[in-house]
């Protein structure tokens, strides 16, 4: 997520400077790969890059291809196939054991702005969006060219490139919900001679941190480094010096915890951590968050403290089940370590696991593929 945000910002800067760049995007994976479908790298004319499409295996070779794409202005797809465990022909030392197709797109300043706007729309959407990209085309007059894109969101469709009214777009529309509902990272569909790669782009995780003690700062820093949208809530008036303690986070005042929903937008994709160290205030935060139906509510402190909160709320007639699936108290994964930074790592790791539907188990013990292969 942080890489996608960095690429979006770099696209805007390049456009402002009048610079044409090349965007490399993984559009198909069969087998295993480092980043999966949607992994991106921005390549400038001087050879500098932003982002990664692999663990370092493909980047230098893609930069060499990008030189030609930049000079010709013609997009192309570069394929790497290492499924036979023999990549001597590439001389790249690949270790992914998979087929990887990477689309190289030359982006003029206007086109770079359009792509940046499209990615920003996906990152700020309320639900996962689906980005459709033409990765193969006959380039006939009636079909979209390689690199043409359209973004499908819950609120409607934002089209980018010359794709309006094409038969390929009409054929693609039926695959949007399939890709989104399956939760797959990628899906490849063919309409005649046109091949379309579908990428599910999840919006940035929205994290609300209730409290402003010293232990909240590393939580905010780590979450912001992951590209999450972080809001810190404090019951005291916000000053510039106070807000500076939490770089990467938006700091807002909420004098009364019961008014939390009026200060911060809370949705079913919001995660929240309650850590103000004030029992009555924390209890009100928990009540507001669970009532709002957020995806995750973590409560700092020992289990008896959380149980006491719920008991007191119940005694007041508040219907908050102690076994609520979204309530995690004590907060965090059991990963060991001491100090605020270790606690922050445990908290952010648990939030990530819950919102991505993962169990936080050892990958060593997993029997399924780490990344689902793109299917047709």
Alpha carbon 163 to its chain's center: 26
| 93 and 139 inside one domain | no
- C-alpha span between 19 and 44 (Å, rounded): 8
Are 132 and 215 in the same domain? no
Domain-located, residue 169: yes
DSSP assignment of 253-299: E-SSGGGHHHHS---TTEEEEE--S-HHHHHHHHHHHHHHT-SEEEE
**Domain shared by 158 and 84, yes or no:** no
Query: Per-block average pLDDT, block size 10, for the chain (376 residues)?
Result: 89 96 90 74 94 84 94 93 56 60 95 93 84 81 81 72 62 62 67 82 92 95 94 94 91 94 90 96 94 94 93 84 77 94 97 90 75 46
Whether residues 212 and 329 fall in one domain? yes
pLDDT score of 199: 85
Asked whether residue 39 falls in the same domain as residue 145, the answer is no
Query: Both 55 and 74 in a single domain?
Result: yes
Please check whether residue 231 lies inside any domain of the structure: yes
**What is the reported pLDDT for 376?**
43
Question: How does DSSP assign 17-32, residue by residue?
Answer: TT--EEEEEEEEEEE-
Q: Which domain holds residue 131?
A: 124-203
User: What is the per-residue pLDDT for 139?
Assistant: 64
Identify whether residues 307 and 218 lie together within a single domain.
yes
Residue 343 counted as domain residue:
yes
């Amino acid at each position: 997520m942080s890489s996608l945000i960095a690429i979006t910002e770099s696209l805007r800067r390049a456009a402002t400077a009048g610079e044409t760049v090349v965007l490399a995007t993984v559009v198909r994976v069969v087998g295993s790969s480092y980043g999966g479908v949607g992994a991106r790298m921005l390549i400038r004319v001087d050879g500098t890059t932003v982002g990664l499409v692999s663990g370092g295996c493909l980047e230098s070779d893609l930069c060499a291809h990008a030189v030609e794409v930049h000079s010709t202005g013609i997009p192309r797809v570069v394929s790497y196939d290492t499924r036979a465990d023999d990549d001597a022909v590439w001389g790249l030392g690949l270790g992914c054991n998979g087929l990887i197709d990477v689309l190289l797109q030359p982006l003029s300043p206007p086109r770079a702005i359009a792509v940046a706007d499209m990615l920003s729309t996906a990152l700020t959407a309320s639900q996962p969006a689906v980005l459709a990209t033409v990765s193969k085309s006959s380039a006939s007059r009636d079909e979209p060219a390689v690199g043409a894109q359209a973004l499908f969101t819950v609120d409607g469709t934002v089209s980018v490139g010359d794709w309006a009214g094409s038969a390929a777009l009409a054929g693609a529309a039926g695959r949007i919900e399939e890709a989104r509902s399956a939760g797959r990272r990628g899906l490849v569909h063919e309409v005649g001679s046109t091949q379309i790669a579908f990428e599910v782009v999840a919006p940035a995780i929205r994290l609300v941190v209730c409290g402003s003690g010293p232990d909240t700062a590393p939580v905010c820093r780590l979450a912001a480094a992951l590209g999450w949208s972080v809001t810190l809530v404090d019951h005291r008036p916000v000053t510039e010096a106070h807000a500076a303690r939490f770089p990467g986070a938006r700091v807002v005042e909420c004098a009364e915890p019961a008014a939390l929903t009026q200060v911060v937008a809370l949705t079913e994709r919001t995660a929240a951590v309650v850590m103000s160290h004030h029992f009555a205030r924390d209890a009100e935060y928990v009540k507001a968050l669970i009532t709002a139906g957020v995806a995750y509510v973590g409560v700092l402190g020992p289990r008896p403290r959380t149980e006491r909160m719920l008991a007191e709320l119940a005694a007041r007639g508040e219907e908050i089940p102690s076994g609520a699936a979204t309530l995690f108290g004590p907060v965090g994964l059991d990963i060991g370590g001491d100090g605020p930074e270790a606690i922050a790592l445990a908290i952010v790791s648990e939030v990530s696991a819950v919102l991505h539907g993962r169990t936080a188990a050892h990958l060593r013990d997993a029997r399924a593929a780490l990344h689902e292969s793109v299917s047709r």
